[in-house]
Structure 1
Amino acid sequence: MPSGLVALLDDISVIAKAAAASIDDVGAAAAKAGSKAAGVVIDDAAVTPSYVTEFTPDRELPIIWKITKGSLRNKLLILLPAALLLSEFVPWAITPLLMLGGLFLCYEGAEKVLEKLGGEKHGETLGDEITDMAAFEKDRVSGAVRTDLILSAEIMAISLAEVAGETLLNRALILAAIAVVITVMVYGAVALIVKMDDIGLHMVENRKTAAARSVGRGLLHAMPVVLALLSSVGTLAMLWVGGGILLHGSHELGLHAPSDVAHAAQHAVEVVTGPLAGLLGWLTYAALSAVVGLVMGMLVVFVLHKVLRIGHKDH
């Protein structure tokens, strides 16, 4: 009897050690996969502030919290099961689905560019008279969550590619860990960015030292510019991420020329730029991806609004 108990305890010890090693492996794989998706994470953080910058300060954090919950739902309840099912049964469908998402990002980015250039606005904006602020806020949150779904899908797809050799359980654990950590990082950073002006005002009104008040005034003056810049970066991010997805996807599906041209241009810049090769090469590829995104997005805008008349306002 004691020997049986000792054997059982030994077995439990072995299982516990194996579980601990598995957790370590999952953590290491999650860190590696998450780092590969860093570019899309930055784009996600750049896009989101544009959805909250024009609201009153008391609504900013509640809106960010609503978007955060929507992002977690996207990743954990929609994308995680879908990614696991697709990777197990129809892995060939991942690339076409990602390309559809990329095309949607291109469309949203192109529409924002047209609006900034004075084109027709589609949907209510803060420049219009808003009769139902709650409904308008709901629409803004819905738009942010839709955009997050596409960006999150790209994050999950990149991460999935990095852990394709893992068991199904480990893949699920790794993707879930990435989903939670990245969501907290992105929307924590967004909350800090959009509340920085309030922090500056608090420093001006409540700090006793001249240095602290000076820093507060600096934040107050800088944040409108930073937020406006982030809004523009967010629009560009939609275009270069969407265009990049289309370039990569077309290459995966056998249409190599567009992607090869973009990579050749990136390589040519890297060859002649020395210490700045990595940065300038990336910027070159991002710029060409944005051009592709803008062209494809404009095409979708034309088809939807001019041909099919979807979202068109008759005056």
Structure 2
Amino acid sequence: MPSGLAALLDDVAAITKLAAASLDDVGAAAGKAGTKAAGVVIDDTAVTPRYVTGLSPQRELPIIAKIAVGSLRNKLLILLPAALLLSWLAPWAITPLLMLGGAFLCFEGAEKVIEAFGGHDAEVHEAEAIGDPAHLEATKVSGAIRTDLILSAEIMAIALADVGDKPLWERGVVLAIVGIGITIGVYGVVALIVKMDDIGLHLAKRGPSAVRAIGRGLVKGMPKVMSALSVIGTAAMIWVGGGILVHGAAQLGWHAPEETIHHFAEGAGGGFLGWVVTALCSGVVGLIVGAVIALIITKFFHKKHE
């Protein structure tokens, strides 16, 4: 009996060590996959604040919370099962689906640019929204969650590609950790950005003169920062969408666009300048594709209403 118990305890200890090693592997894989998705995370952080511009300050944090919950739902209830299912049954379908999402981002971004230069549609929408704050909030939240779905899909795809050789359960755990961690990080930063003017107001009312000066600077500067982030967010949608299309085309066998952009980036010296060139080239691709889609949709709707 003692020897049997000892053997059982040895087996339990071995299983425990194996489980601990597996958890260490999962943690390391999640960290590595999350790091590779950092580029899209930055874009996601730039895109989101534009969805709370023009709204009541009292509603900013509740709206960000709604978007964050929607983002978690996107990642854990939609994208995680879909990614695991596709990686198991039809891994070839992941790239085309991501390219469809990228095309949608290009369209949304190009539509914002067209409205900014045309002005008419944007003014009509704003006039309609001002009369109904609840409708405006619901529209902003749904738009943010819809855009987040595409960006989150790219994040999850990058993470999945990095753990594609792992067992199915480990892939699922890594994707869940990456999804939750990135969501908390992104929307925590977004909340800090949009409430920075309130922090500045608080600092401006108390403390040493230097602190009050910093507070006044934040209050004066944050409206400009928010306007800039709105522009950056639109640009991010276009360059991320274009980047998805270029990378997807290369994975499907058409390497010319990606190789051309890589050549330009190397010509700029690589590093940060190379990244800027890559982003600009991806943005040009995204803007062209998005504008074409917007034109087709506009023509289609005009014909439909005639």
For this structure pair, what is the TM-score category when the shorter chain's length is used for normalisation?
Answer: over 0.9
Compare 37-46 and 133-142 and name the one that shifted more: 133-142
Give secondary structure in 1 for the equivalent of 2:228: helix
1:306 deviates by: 2.1
CA displacement 1:202-248 (0-9 Å, x = unmatched): 1112x132122111101111111111111111011001000001101
TM-score by length of 2: 0.96
CA contact (8 A) 1:304 1:310 kept: no
Matched, 1:16 2:16: yes
Partners of 1:51 and 1:2 in 2: how far apart?
A: 66
Matched, 1:292 2:285: yes
Show the counterpart of 1:209.
Answer: 208
Show the counterpart of 2:134.
Answer: 134
CA displacement 1:23-79 (0-9 Å, x = unmatched): 111111111111111000000000000000211110000000000000000000000
Partners of 1:208 and 1:73 in 2: how far apart?
A: 42
Show the counterpart of 1:172.
Answer: 172
How does 1:1-315 map onto structure 2 within 5 Å? 1-121=1-121, 125-128=125-128, 130-205=130-205, 207-270=206-269, 277-309=270-302
Partners of 1:140 and 1:269 in 2: how far apart?
A: 38
CA contact (8 A) 2:246 2:282 kept: yes
Quick one: which amino acid aligns to residue 50 of structure 1?
Answer: R
Greater share of helix: 2
1:6 deviates by: 1.9
1:308 deviates by: 3.1
CA contact (8 A) 2:116 2:122 kept: no
1:192 deviates by: 0.2
CA contact (8 A) 1:54 1:126 kept: no
Quick one: which amino acid aligns to residue 287 of structure 2?
Answer: L
Quick one: which amino acid aligns to residue 257 of structure 2?
Answer: P
1:94 deviates by: 0.3
Runs of 4+ in 1 over 6 A off after TM superposition: none
Partners of 1:285 and 1:124 in 2: how far apart?
A: 35
CA displacement 1:96-115 (0-9 Å, x = unmatched): 00000000000000011111
Give secondary structure in 2 for the equivalent of 1:55: coil
Give secondary structure in 2 for the equivalent of 1:305: helix
CA displacement 1:183-206 (0-9 Å, x = unmatched): 00000000000000001111112x
Structure 2, gaps ≥5 residues long: none
Partners of 1:281 and 1:124 in 2: how far apart?
A: 40
Quick one: which amino acid aligns to residue 64 of structure 1?
Answer: I
1:123 deviates by: 9.3
TM-score by length of 1: 0.93
Structure 1, gaps ≥5 residues long: 271-276
1:118 deviates by: 2.6
Partners of 2:19 and 2:177 in 1: how far apart?
A: 16
Partners of 2:127 and 2:31 in 1: how far apart?
A: 42
Percent identity of equivalent pairs? 60
1:139 deviates by: 1.1
CA contact (8 A) 2:129 2:136 kept: no
Give secondary structure in 2 for the equivalent of 1:53: coil
CA contact (8 A) 1:71 1:149 kept: yes
Partners of 1:108 and 1:2 in 2: how far apart?
A: 70
CA contact (8 A) 1:124 1:136 kept: no
CA contact (8 A) 1:47 1:235 kept: yes
Partners of 1:20 and 1:127 in 2: how far apart?
A: 58
Partners of 1:311 and 1:43 in 2: how far apart?
A: 35
